[in-house]
Each structure stands twice: as structure tokens, then as C-alpha cells.
Amino acid sequence: MEKLIKGLRHFQTDYFSKHQELFEQLAHGQHPRALFITCSDSRVDPNLITNAQVGELFVIRNAGNMIPPYGATNGGEGGAMEYAIAALGIEDIIVCGHSYCGAMKGLLKLDELEEKMPLVYDWLKQGEATRRLVKENYSTLQGDDLLDITVAENVLSQIENLRTYPIVHSRLRQGKLNLHAWVYHIENGAVYAYDAVRHAYVAPSSALQPMKPEDLIEHEPDDHPTPNWLSPEQANRIYRGTY
């Protein structure tokens, strides 16, 4: 706590004093650029990895960066997301998973959590779609390879869950909302975005805009594009059966 209190004092005397005008503007309202949905993991800092200033991101955080399907729970995720779109006018939603995710490790060993951490167990059960998809499509993988795939697939599952919300469904139909699937790698700072055309996670060409035609890599018709951080064999299986 002592370190945190010192940090608080430093913020008040240094950072705040240098950006006082910004905070005075923010006191009258917020106009974030995007909704950023990510994990509660202390190693993931949305503002840090996007170099965003205070007020630029509206953030939802929980274990495993999960958004339960519409009507599944009475949690705050749906309400926060709805507020971001309807009240704040947000047009971009980013779901960002990360490497070495403890929640995804727990999802892969869900039965072991029921007695030890029952509340975690109840929360992670909402990731059943991801767990079953991974179990039935990636049975030959294990260790870090299996965890990487689970992280990647889970982000895509949450994108599908977002589509079940009426306001998301409506805004997508109107072309007023964009959904983005990202994975952040703690160990090297890299961020990969899912490209629905190539069915692969690749380095994003820009923070929030779709890739331009000249950014696409040519592949043979039967060839599966390889994400920068997954093996060709894994790339062949990524997202199989869900699109």
C-alpha cells in the first residue's frame, strides 16, 4: 500500500498538474473512442498497449474477457456495453485476450475448480462454448499450444456472444458498429487482430480500421493463411466449425 500511496501523490503533484485542462474537460463528460473488453489480469493495461490517453477508452474487465450471451446472466457486462453504444455513441468494440491467461488455463481444467474456487467455476462455465470447441477440434494439442488456441478461440467466441445483443445486432446491420478480436502477447508486446477474410490472427494494419486490399497476402486457393504466432497446423484448425 505504501507504494500505491506514493504513486497517488505523484499522480496528483505531477501528472494531474500537467494535464489539468484535460481533466477539467473530462469533468463535463466523456467521449471515448472505443469499448475495450479485456481480462482482469494485472499484466494487461489497455491504455498502455494502445497508448491511449485518459478518456479515450471505455473498459470492461473480467476474468477471461468474457461477454455472456444476451439474457444468460444479470451481470454488468451487458449493461456497460449497451451504455457504451447507446449513450456514448461508441462505434468500435475490441475484445482483447492475452497470452498465459489464467482464466483460460482454468477453463481447460474446469472440473478441478468446482470445490476449490466455486465462484470462479461458476463464472468460467460461461466459457463452455470455447471449452467444447477446443476439446472437440484440438484434441492433439497440449501445453502452451493448447492454451494459445484456447485464448484465440475464446476471443472469437466473445465476438459471437456480442452479436446476440439487440443493440449490437441492430448497429451492425446499420453499419454503425465494428467488432475487433485481438490477442495481446505479454512476453513481447505484440498484438494480433483476427482477419475474417483470411481466417487468421495477423498484425493489425491500423488501430481500428479494416485492412486495405494492398495489405492482404496472396495464398493458393486451398492454402490456409498462417497467423504470425501459430503453427501452420494450428492455423488450419483455427475457428473451424464456427463460421
97: three-class secondary structure by DSSP = strand
Paired strand residues for 58 = 35
Over residues 190-201, the pLDDT tens digits come to: 999 998 877 788
Rounded Cα distance, 117 and 81, in Å: 27
Q: How confident is the model at residue 235 (pLDDT cuts 50, 70, 90)?
A: low
Rounded Cα distance, 98 and 63, in Å: 11
Rounded Cα distance, 82 and 164, in Å: 12
Over residues 141-161, the pLDDT tens digits come to: 899 999 999 999 999 999 999
Residue with cell 481533466: 23
Q: Are 235 and 226 in contact (CB under 8 A)?
A: yes
170: three-class secondary structure by DSSP = helix
Residue 165 pLDDT = 95
**DSSP state, residue 13:** I
Over residues 72-131, the pLDDT tens digits come to: 876 789 999 999 999 999 999 999 999 999 999 999 999 999 999 999 999 999 999 999
Q: What are phi and psi of 54, to 5 degrees?
A: -55, 130
Pick the CATH number of 31-237 from 3.40.1050.10, 3.30.830.10, 3.40.50.1370, 3.30.360.10: 3.40.1050.10
In the chain, where the domains are located: 31-237
